[in-house]
Each structure stands twice: as structure tokens, then as C-alpha cells.
Amino acid sequence: MADTFSPDFMNKLVALCKRRGIIFQSSEMYGGINGFWDYGPNGAPLRRAIEKTWWKYMVEDRDNVEGLDSTIICHPKIWKASGHLDQFSDLMTDCNECKKRFRTDLMEDPHVCPNCGSKNLTEPREFNLMLKTYVGPVFDEEHTAYLRAETCQPIFVDFNTVRVATREKIPFGIAQTGKAFRNEINPRFFTFRSREFMQMEMEFFCHDEESMDWFEYWRKERWNYYTKILGIPEDKLRWKWHEKLAHYAKAAVDIEYLFPFGWGEIEGIHHRGTWDLSRHAEFSHQEQDCKVYDQEKKESFIPTVVETSCGLDRICLMALCNYYDEDTAETKKEGMNEDDRVVFRFPFNIAPLQIAVLPLSKKLNDDAHEVQKVLKKFFRTNYDVTGSIGKRYRRQDEIGTPYCVTVDFDTLEDHAVTGRNRDTMKQVRIPIAELNHHFLEKI
């Protein structure tokens, strides 16, 4: 088993992610840009696959949650109403000695520099996290706009349009996934704290009297998502209740994962009261768009909101850390001399590539491509023809492909291929006609 808590684990993981085209620094040719990451050919499908499991679990499998895909740049007043322009800031302090900048709330001792130990620090100052841009040809205050700092605000603003279009009645939710941007003071821990990242959020609109029942309901559902859908062990997850609540909230809790660098938040489940809709009613003067009508009480009211909010990049990082493994004993079985086999033991549903097709000889390319075509109907596939078969298995292990299918000269006679299981390394002969059935049954 890999020791994911050894001090050099993160370095090992970052290097592997680059070497195998999973995740690497953005703009590397120009020296990189701090807090921005590119997902390569083996990382983009991982992120998409995880996003897909969330969308299915939160939207497609439910009748009471609707999907949305809003713009990244919205009317700047939205961020005034939400409080982001005035309050979305961190306290930061600069070290006068080493010139590094830190978030005061993340420092062990706010009087000592975590980098060089100096006590010569500036007074903490407010630092707004919104990223600014301009819309239109004139670059002035009036044309200033912001990249959204969270995906949920457009959900509130579109609440009425979605409700009317779908004829939903509360309780119901609206969900969306997409990019969010924060000018973080200290991007760190690989993708954990980035400046551009993806969020997956759901706002659930309900009656205030039922809101704590819904809070409990979503708390259980979200725990279930991590443990059952993504297969994360319960002992690597924990609840972290917020001690200080916003004045409008009845409860707030985070789900944390035990990363190699310590416990870190992956999701927040928040009771948001009527705060967001009330603010948008006030700032837009469109109160009717923020209310629903209660037939029994014969009155309109602003629904209460329970939110589930998680970061897709943090979930990817959790999957990479959780499913990374090294096994020493098994490796010689496949004729390899290396001591260690590095393998991501991703579950089938999130594996970036699910089945790799490996012809034993270039002469078998045509037949192997036919086999890949059959598998492509149902699975994310990969094709690799270079290097010894042992080396090719190792490459697939390092990107977490659960199955390999080898096409050999016998295939031409028996119309069958050899399937190899990533975890057990066991091999079985499978007729091509039964391939899809064989793998569909396994999942």
C-alpha cells in the first residue's frame, strides 16, 4: 500500500499527474501562472466523469431538481446584492522580511511568518477575492464586470424563470456546475486552492418550517454520494460544523476529506434562510420574482434555501489521493522488472478511460480498431500500440484504466480477446461478440 501521508507524497502525485497528462500547470511554457491548472487527456475525462456522476445523482435521478447552465459574467449588481463586492474578502498580511503574503485566518500564529519565522509582519488588510474585467469597448467603472465567485448566485436570479418554465412548486431545487473564480491570496496544495475552479451547487427552495428537515435530508444524500457513488471510505471523511453562523442561517456544516496535507473542505451544506432571494428582491426591485404563492395562506412569500456546494477540482484531487496505490509483490507476474507498480484504483464510473485496447502487433491494427469500435459504444476507451505489453499495462495502471483488452494472432482464429483486470491482474479470454455484455455485467 502507498503511504499517502509521507512528506513527499504530494510531490510524487504532482509529478505523476504531469507525466501521464492528468493535470499540469497552466501556461507552463511561460513559466506557469500561479493557481491555474490544465487537465490533460487523462485528467479532462476524469473531471467530466465525476461531474457526470454528480449531475446524474443530483439532477437526472430526481424529479424535484432542475438543471441550469448560466453565464460566468453576470450583471455586476448581482455581486453587490450578494455581498461579494463589499464583504467577500480575506484578511491578509505581508511578511516584511521574505515578502510573502498570507491569509491571516489560515496562519497558525498570526504574529509569526509561516515561511521564514519573522515577526516583522504588516497589519492585516482586507483583500477582495473577486476577479474584475470590463464589458464593452470602454474600460471604466461603469463597464466593470466580475467573473462569478460562486455558481449559485445566478441560480437565485433565474429562480422565477426556471420555476415558471418547469411549473415546479416548492419544495424543489435548481442545480448547476461550472467555473468559479477567486483571486485567492495563497493558491496551494496542488489544485486544492486554485484561482479558477469548478463548482457543483444545488439550491433547494422550501417552506421555512420544513427547512431543517431538508437540511438533514441533503446532509445524508451528500454523504451517500461520496461514500456510495465515489466509494470514498467513511473514515477518510468527517463532518465539520460551523461554530459561527451567518445571522440568517439555522445550520451549516462542511464535509472534509483527510488529504495528505490534512483535513480539507470538499463541500459545504448550508441553510441560507431567505437571505439571497431577499437581497435580489431588494436590489433588482423585482420582488415578485423572488416569491411564491401559498394557496392555503393566500399570500406570497420568499422561500427558504438549503444549499449543497462542492468543488469539482477538490473532488478530483480527493479521488487522485484516495485511489493512488503502489504494489510491489504483483509486478513480476507480467514479466516486468520494476519493483513497484503505480496504479490508480478508480472505480469504473469515474475512471478517465475504462477499457484500453492493445494489439500485440502492428499487423493487428485493423482488427484491434474494430474491437475498439465495438467497445466505444458503451465505454471510454483508449488505444495503445507502442512498447512491450508489460509496459503498456503499466501505463494503463498509471492512469487507472480498469480493464485492458489484448488482441493477438489467435484473435484472427477464435474471434476472442484477452481481458486483463487492473486490480487482480487476472486474464480471461472473452469472445468479441460478448465483449460489451461481459463488461456491462461487471459494472
Distances (CA, A) of 199 to 54, 152, 227: 11, 9, 19
Residue 271 interacts with ligand ATP (CB under 6 A)? no
Residue 74 in the binding site for ligand ATP (CB under 6 A) = no
Contact 77, 109 (CB under 8 A): no
Q: Does residue 51 belong to the site contacting ligand ATP (CB under 6 A)? A: no
Least distance in angstroms from the C-beta of 266 to ligand ATP? 5
Using the minimum distance from each CB to ligand ATP, give the nearer residue, 318 or 351. Answer: 318
Binder of ligand ATP out of 197, 225, 324, 439 (CB under 6 A): 197
Q: How far is the CB of 294 from ligand ATP (least distance, A)?
A: 31
The contact mask relative to ligand ATP for 133-152 (x = CB under 6 A, - = no) is: -----------------x--
Minimum distance of ligand ATP from residue 150's CB (angstroms): 6
Identity of the residue, 129 or 430, whose beta carbon is nearer to ligand ATP in the bound complex: 129
Q: Which of 47, 182, 279, 395 binds ligand ATP (CB under 6 A)?
A: 182
**Closest separation between CB of residue 269 and ligand ATP, Å?**
10
Instruction: Output the smallest distance, CB 385 to ligand ATP, in A.
Output: 37
Which of 82/331 has CB closer to ligand ATP?
A: 82
Asked if 265 is part of the footprint of ligand ATP (rule: CB under 6 A), the reply reads: yes
Binding to ligand ATP in span 290-349, by CB under 6 A: 309-311, 313-314
Among 45, 171, 260, 268, binds ligand ATP (CB under 6 A): 268
Residue of minimal Cβ distance to ligand ATP: 311
Closest approach of ligand ATP to the CB of residue 242, in Å: 9
Residue 314 C-beta: closest distance to ligand ATP, Å: 4
If the CB atoms of residues 55 and 378 are measured against ligand ATP, the closer one turns out to be 55
Least gap, CB of 198 to ligand ATP (angstroms): 8
CA distance 278 to 275: 5
How far is Cα 109 from Cα 227, in angstroms, rounded to an integer?
Answer: 35
> Applying CB under 6 A, does 199 fall inside the site for ligand ATP?
yes
Residue 63, all three cell numbers: 424529479
The residue count for binding ligand ATP (CB under 6 A) is 16
- If DSSP states are collapsed to H, E and C, what string results for the chain? CCCCCCCCHHHHHHHHHHHCCCEEECCHHHCCCCCCEEECCCCHHHHHHHHHHHHHHHHHCCCCEEECCCCCECCHHHHHHCCHHHHCEEEEEEECCCCCEEEHHHCCCCCCCCCCCCCCECCCEEEECCEEEECCCCCCHHHEEEECCCCCHHHHHCHHHHHHHHCCCCCEEEEEEEEEECCCCCCECCCCECCEEEEEEEEEEECHHHHHHHHHHHHHHHHHHHHHHCCCCHHHEEEEECCCCCCCCCCEEEEEEEECCEEEEEEEEEEEECHHHHHHHHHHCCHHHHCEEECCCCEEECCEEEEEEEEHHHHHHHHHHHHEEEECHHHHHHCCCCCCEEEECCCCCCCCCCEEEEECCHHHHHHHHHHHHHHHCCCCEEECCCCCHHHHHHHHHHHCCCEEEEECHHHHHHCEEEEEECCCCCEEEEEHHHHHHHHHHHC
Residue selected from 49, 78, 121, 266 as contacting ligand ATP according to rule CB under 6 A: 266
Beta carbon of residue 255, minimum distance to ligand ATP (angstroms, whole number): 8
Interface segment toward ligand ATP; rule CB under 6 A; list 14-22, 60-68, 264-272, 398-406: 264-272
Nearer residue to ligand ATP within complex by CB, 170 or 251: 251
Binding site for ligand ATP (CB under 6 A): 150, 182, 184, 193-194, 197, 199, 265-268, 309-311, 313-314
